[in-house]
Amino acid sequence: MKAPRAAPPPPKDVVTGPFDDPAALPPRVAALRAKILEACARRDIEALAVPIQWAETPPVFARGPERPRNFAGIVDFLKRRSFDRNGAEMVAILRAAFEAPHARVRRGVFESYVFPALAVVAPQESAGAATGDARAALWRFVRFADLRADRDERPLVHRAVVGADGTWHSFLAEPV
């Protein structure tokens, strides 16, 4: 009997950037970014419902049981995650992320855009390796609640991932 062939390893991510010219984004990514920034400029968390609902499925804003499973629950979830409980903190983080330079990530044939690029692009392998302006810039994407003094890990930096087709896939806080 012939041994089964091992599955090929998953393709590695190819990350390029940072890019700070939003005009270089694919048109649908640029349109979603503009709609998010328009909502953030209003400083109204409710205005984010429009770009959140542009996709067929809701973007992922958390993992695990607290994850909102439908469009209706996302705005309330963002309010609860915000220090002020009204969403102002999350609006500010979203705005900072989408105003920052972005990175392009390719995995096989799939392409996505990550905002901010600092979340996936060197100069830091960890927060301790980043220096000067790059390290200071990271804190624009961190929730107040994630600044706990007892935290020995790397900071939880919010990053948004948008597919090349303009689908908003996620907005998650992950260590850099």
Dihedral pair phi/psi, residue 174, rounded to 5°: -140, 150
Which is higher by pLDDT, 70 or 158? 158
Query: What value does the mean pLDDT take over residues 86-96?
Result: 88
- H or E element: which one contains 22? none
Question: What is the dihedral sign for C-alpha 126, 40, 67, 59?
Answer: negative
Which is higher by pLDDT, 176 or 109? 109
Which is higher by pLDDT, 152 or 49? 49
Q: What is the DSSP letter of 25?
A: S
Name the amino acid, one letter, at 51: P
Question: What is the dihedral sign for C-alpha 82, 87, 93, 97?
Answer: positive
Q: How confident is the model at residue 125 (pLDDT cuts 50, 70, 90)?
A: very low
Rounded CA-CA distance 95/135 in Å is 18
pLDDT on residue 144? 62
Look at the pTM and tell me if it is higher than 0.95. no
Whether the CB-CB separation of 173 and 157 falls below 8 Å is answered with: yes
Query: What value does the mean pLDDT take over residues 24-37?
Result: 96
